[in-house]
Structures are given as C-alpha cells and as structure tokens.
Amino acid sequence: MSSRRNALKNIVAGTAGALSLTDVLAANQKALGPKLNGKIKHSVCKWCYSKIPLDTFAQECKAMGISSVELLGPEEWPVLKKYGLHCALPNGAGMGIEKGFNDLALHDELVKSYEDIFPKLKEAGYTTVICFSGNRRGMSDYDGMRNCAIGLRRLMPSAQKYGVTMIMELLNSKVNHRDYMCDHTSWGAGLCEMVGSENFKLLYDIYHMQIMEGDVIANIRQYSKYIGHYHTGGVPGRNEIDETQELYYPAIMKAIVDTGFKGYVAQEFIPKREPLASLKQGVQICDIA
C-alpha cells in the first residue's frame, strides 16, 4: 500500500505541477466513462446499431455507463457476460411480431417456444422476455384480447416458476406495423387485467405510443402498474431524441421515475448522425438528476 501511494505521488510530481491529483482522478473517471445519476437504468437495443460488431458495441456501451444491451438471443448473451452487461429484455422465443397470442391456432407452438426459453433465461440470470399480440386480421379487439389471455395464462405457472416476466410490446399500427393489435395502452392494460398475473407486463414504447395516442406522460402515470419496460425514439422518424423531434424526454423520464419504476429504459432510435455519439447523447438526455 505504501509503495502504491509513493508511486501515485511520483506520477503527480512528475507532471511538474501541471496536473493536480484532482486532474489525474478526473482523467481516470473520463477513461472509465461518465458518472451517471442513477435514477434511470440505461439499456439499448442492438438492432439499431447493426453495423457495429456486438463485441465492440458492448465495450462502447460499458464506457458510456449503459448497463444492458437487449433484444438479443441466447447465442449472443455470452458476449454481454464477458463485459459485465445485462440483457434487460431478451428475445429468443415466439414467432415474430405479426404472429402472436391473438391466434388460437398458434398457441401450442408459442407455449412450447416460451417454455423452452424460460430455463435458459433463468440460467443466464435474466428475468424478462419479449412477446407480441400478433396482427388483427379482421379480429375484434375483444376477441383478440381474450385469445391472448387464453394463451398467456397457459404460460404463467412456468413463468412464475422460472422468475420470468413476459413483456408484450405496444406498437403503432399507423406507420410501422400495420394491423398490429396491441397498439393502445388501454388495450394492453385490459389484457394485463385479463391475464391476472404479475408475470405479464407491457413494453411501453414511447415512440409508438406518441404516434398512436399521444398524452405520453398522462398515460405513463395512469397505466404505470402495467408497464414493465420502456423504449425511446424520436417522433417523427424514430431518430435521435434531441431537439430535432417533438418530445421532451427529460420530462418523460421524470414522469417514469415519479411512478416508482425500477426497471430499464432502453434507447431504441435509429441514429442519423455518428451512431455512438448519438447514443451517448440519448443516454445523457435521459439521465435526469
């Protein structure tokens, strides 16, 4: 310990007074990444940065203070483990966005797919997995909700056994996902009530819900008990979340924190500028004091 202290003194003295110990510590902190405020747990969706190798991306995220990279499957989880990163919302089950739990004919296949992934999630230390309602295809909202609930209730005992929460994403059916059923927060909340389990929640995608219904902060407050995860994105266009778009993310983050939410907020915008600089900016915008 004494020799380490002497070495540090020598380093500082060797600068001939140009750098103080405070300067040295500040430089060290910069190398480690920003010190974040801690009110928001930061995640990011890898698909928005598809040109960056996962290994490189994981290192860059770690340096920014991001603690999770998500929407990844089992074959990619070891890379996250290598860098001490979490996967706040894994994939690896289901049949995609258009084919989901509102189709009774798909239930057996969907149930098997999720029951296969639950043990892998537990082994990896992950507690959530994404799922989808599927497209309407002429089905009424009530029939679709009932069908989803039938399939999801089959999975709730296994989800509870493995400590996994299934997270259904709210998507817009106006611009990006035509005919998708779970496209309003009120519908998703009704499904949560029908399923009747704490192992089923909603992914409130701020971008999608601004397009479909607006009133983002009011809806976050009203439906907070049903929300298990959040995604960001600039409106319109799903690009950077800065002053180039119509939402004010610091106020939205404050509303999320005020609900008592303890989960993750993931950046899910497609950068138009240098990708990692835009990602870092997004994290800083959401990192409210």
Nearest C-alpha neighbor of 171 from the set 115, 68, 100: 100
- Which two tokens mark 87? 């996967």
Say yes or no: 76 and 103 in one domain.
yes
Q: Could you tell me if 134 and 11 lie in one domain? A: no
Q: Whole-angstrom Cα distance, residue 276 to residue 289?
A: 22
> So what's the pLDDT on residue 25?
44
Q: What is the pTM of this model?
A: 0.88
- SS3 of 132-184: CCCECCCCCHHHHHHHHHHHHHHHHHHHHHHCCEEEEECCCCCCCCCCECCCC
Q: How far is CA 26 from CA 32, 37, 62, 155, 283, in A?
A: 10, 17, 18, 50, 20
My answer on whether 156 and 187 are in the same domain is yes
Assess whether 62 and 171 both reside in one domain: yes
Q: How many residues does the chain have?
A: 289
Residues 28 and 13 in one domain: yes
Query: pLDDT under 50 in the chain at which residues?
Result: 1-5, 7-18, 21-22, 24-32
Neighbours of 242 (CB within 10 A): 15
Interval 28-84: pLDDT, tens: 444 445 679 999 999 999 999 999 999 999 999 999 999 999 999 999 999 999 999
Sign of CA pseudo-dihedral 119, 124, 127, 129: negative
Give the domain range for residue 269: 36-286
pLDDT of 34 reads: 63
Enter the tokens of residue 10.
Answer: 């020598």
Q: Give strand pairing partners of 69.
A: 44
* 172 lies in the same domain as 246: yes
Q: Are residues 192 and 264 in the same domain?
A: yes
pLDDT recorded at residue 35:
79
Same domain, residue pair 2 and 143: no
H or E element in which residue 222 lies: helix 216-223
Q: What is the pLDDT of residue 178?
A: 97
